[in-house]
Amino acid sequence: MNRITGTALITGASSGIGAEFARQLAAAGHALILVARRQERLQQFKDELEAEYNIPVTIHPADLAQPEQIAALVAFIQGLDELAILINNAGFGTMGNLGETDSSKQTEMVTLHVLATMELTQAALPKMRQQGFGHIINVSSIAAFVTGPGNVNYCATKAYINSFSRSLQLELKGSGVYVQALCPGYTYSEFHDRPEMDGFERRSMPRYLWMPATDVVRESLAYLGREKVIVIPGLLYKWMVAGLQSWLVRVPLIMYQRYLGK
């Protein structure tokens, strides 16, 4: 990890990739602000991190699929004295064709992936530009590069995150503020255990498609302070996105698209 100091704010911080970001940044000495829906779990995680790493941790319980709670976090960010790293990680997926799924869940997904990412980033930018440094990590997905039935808004919102991040980095060139869109593939976490992902069978996916969150986060943090917007952890997924014409690439990509349409 490049040596960047200061406070890091992480959404979706109570489990999975978000929790791993918290652990690795705490180990590097960063003060943390953890945002997630489950207050009790956040408090337990705060106590664990403070005891193990001797760093200050602030918790901010919030459901960022709700516009009023996005607004409250925006106000909180605007009131901070400094912010070095913002990680927009909170997200979820669904299973099923658009016309047959719960419309409220689709609206929540778009709100969380698109509006929350945009509004929190916009809130952090003035402070980061004034400081002359900062890093924004928007957690996207390998799904941003594929299309398929069964989770159309997930693919679409992650594609938005990639485009948003690329364009924003152009705006920020020379400012000392860097933007990354982290695009993991299948990652061991609680993501696929949510009720919205009912029907997904983890065991049916080849083991070589899965990565531990530790590796995903380690690769992301290796690019702190560098103008590399799209970060794809894992050699296999890099090959998939590059579109190499071999069975090793085509088969996982076809399987991924089929599961999006399941």
Cα angle 72-113-185, degrees, rounded to a multiple of 5: 135
Q: How many CA atoms lie within 13 A of 262 on its CB side?
A: 19
Angle in degrees, 0-180, between the axes of helices 67-78 and 117-131, rounded to the nearest 10: 10
Paired tokens of 184: 């993991």
Q: How far apart are CA 194 and CA 213, in angstroms?
A: 17
Q: How far apart are CA 151 and CA 199, in angstroms?
A: 13
Q: How far apart are CA 164 and CA 184, in angstroms?
A: 17
Length of the chain: 262
Indicate the DSSP class of residue 111: I
Q: Annotated catalytic sites, by residue?
A: 154
Closest CA to 183 of 219, 129, 131: 219
Instruction: Say if residues 115 and 71 touch (Cβ distance below 8 Å).
Output: no
Paired tokens of 56: 């200050």
Instruction: Say if residues 120 and 109 touch (Cβ distance below 8 Å).
Output: no
